[in-house]
Amino acid sequence: MPVSDKPRIILASASPRRRDLLRRIGFSFTVEPSGVDESTISHGSHREFAMKAALAKALDVSGSHTEALVIGADTIVCIEDRILGKPSDRVEAEQMLMDLRGRDHEVITGVAVVRAGSLQCMVDAETTTVFFKNFRKETLERYLESGESLDKAGAYGIQGRGKVLVRRIEGDYFNVVGLPLDCLLRALSTFLDIKPNRERLDDLHHPF
């Protein structure tokens, strides 16, 4: 597919944060969440898992189409040898955040772009190190009361109220939100002219 062509883009994710980021850098797309069961994905490293999960999601959705670019993504929060998913309740969210308190951890997002029909694909991953504050119990309680932690991997959202827990980051801020835009644009550049989107990315601001 020449980079001058403009195929339909499908986001294989229901994440409102990913939808928002794609729109902010100028993409038009439709949303078709994947039904992949991530627990069945075999892997060695955390990075490998994120990449395999992203590709599995993109392939799952691309199978229903003959011509489109399908974007799959999977974000995980890692501390030492553990992967922290979304907490099942407030108690688990509190435990996760206490485990992260005063420490650094990694956020890894796998990104896959699949051309439906040909199944040509590009797969990559981005890693950002996040350093948490040694926050007070009162700060944690106020954050848990907001309810924001319950639908977030690692039990926090850096783009929302969860930023009060974060001291600093090393790497791509948008990766921690859930979609590493620079990584995604590199993958999409195989299929599209992404210069206008790159310019919009350069104009985006964030708190870290």
74 is catalytic: yes
pLDDT band at 5 (very low <50, low <70, confident <90, very high): low
Q: What token pair was written down for 80?
A: 């030492």
pLDDT confidence band for 14 (50 / 70 / 90) = very high
Which one-letter DSSP state was computed for residue 82? E
pLDDT of 208 > 50? The answer is yes
9-202 is a CATH 2.40.30.10 domain: no
pLDDT, tens only, 150-198: 989 999 999 999 999 999 999 999 999 999 999 999 999 999 999 999 9
* pLDDT, tens only, 116-149: 988 799 999 999 999 999 999 999 999 999 999 9
Give per-residue pLDDT as tens, 47-61: 999 999 999 999 999
Mark residue 16 as left, alpha or beta (left: phi above 0; alpha: psi -120 to 50; beta: remaining).
alpha
pTM of the model: 0.93
What residues have CB less than 8 Å from 66, skipping those under 6 apart? 116, 117
Residue whose C-alpha is closest to residue 108's, from 166, 152, 47: 47
Among 5, 20, 60, 74, the one annotated catalytic = 74
